[in-house]
Chain A
């Protein structure tokens, strides 16, 4: 059985008969049972995966006069549509045809990094970073929105904003069957 053996053990030389010591062996079975019962209880009732906090800053609506003019050529607009897809274009809406993209490593993340690089190369510093505008449509899901913010985070985009979608952009999504 489960025992804790702390007695000296071994035979003594000389063959003297000693008085028998009280055994120091303890039965640990019940203690182990109890420990595992408690472990099971704690595993069942607690959460180890703590939720994570994504910081979100929205543009202040009350201050309309402090908006800086942004060059069109550095602005990438991402329209979030239905079916977990989005489309993006650089510059003003309607001028260049939007490209439909997916989420994931080879989708929007690659696009963001490539476009950012391209814009940094073609523009003069120090303000030569890309500005990303995220425009979620009414048909996009909250999950897509969080995914998009996350991709922007991963790609290391310096400047981004969440803006309301324009009717002309809804039409673009409709044309590609994403609304």
Chain B
């Protein structure tokens, strides 16, 4: 049997997949995002994602250089010194949901152990200096210093959760003057 054509097709498909696809990142907090008809894609850089679901809030930010600088700033804020090695390890964590007290311990774990580590989410009460607000505020400062751009904040909410869970995050954002943000949705037809 002549397999030349089949080989051509296979490699064509392979090239297509390599070029178009983006590696799937493992989400520590699984959320079922709602669907909408908007076609604008989520930006790749200069973005912080707040994942809201199961009554918890997880914080994530793009860019390894920003993550490093952010951890240093957060260490100063909470008077927890982080070593250069810890900053390096932190820079590859895309999303996390641990408090500042537990962060050192969480960073020291390897990738497999991190998956089973009980993450309680980042605390966000009604005070202006709660941990989530501090993370976002410092992330905005770091982004402005390093890239001279305003940080974009995206909210990834669970479709079945009730509205107050989302409102809580918006209140944190609005308290520091962030009135424009992105809601992450999947695509559906009209």
Contact = CB atoms under 8 A, between A and B. Distances in A.
A46 B17 contact: yes
B182 to A, nearest CB: 4
A153 interface: yes
Contact of B22 (A35, A47, A59, A142): A47
Contacts of B93: none
Tell me if A's interface is mostly helix, strand, loop or mixed: mixed
A62 B177 contact: yes
Interface in A38-69: 38-39, 42-43, 45-62
Interface residues of B, number: 56
B10 interface: yes
A51 B154 CA distance: 11
Tell me if B's interface is mostly helix, strand, loop or mixed: mixed
A50 B41 contact: yes
B6 interface: yes
A61 B36 CA distance: 27
Interface residues of A, number: 50
Contacts of A31: 7
Interface stretch (A16-24, A120-128, A131-139): A131-139
A168 interface: no
Given A35-B7, A46-B23, A154-B190, A53 B14 contact: no
Contacts of B158: 142
A42 B17 CA distance: 6
Contacts of A1: 1
Given A2-B3, A47-B21, 10 more contacts: A35-B7, A39-B17, A51-B41, A52-B36, A53-B40, A136-B167, A137-B163, A142-B163, A150-B36, A150-B37
Interface of A: 1-5, 28-29, 31-32, 35-36, 38-39, 42-43, 45-62, 80, 136-147, 149-150, 153-154
Interface of B: 1-4, 6-7, 10-11, 13-14, 17-18, 20-24, 33-43, 52, 154-167, 170, 174, 177, 179-187, 190
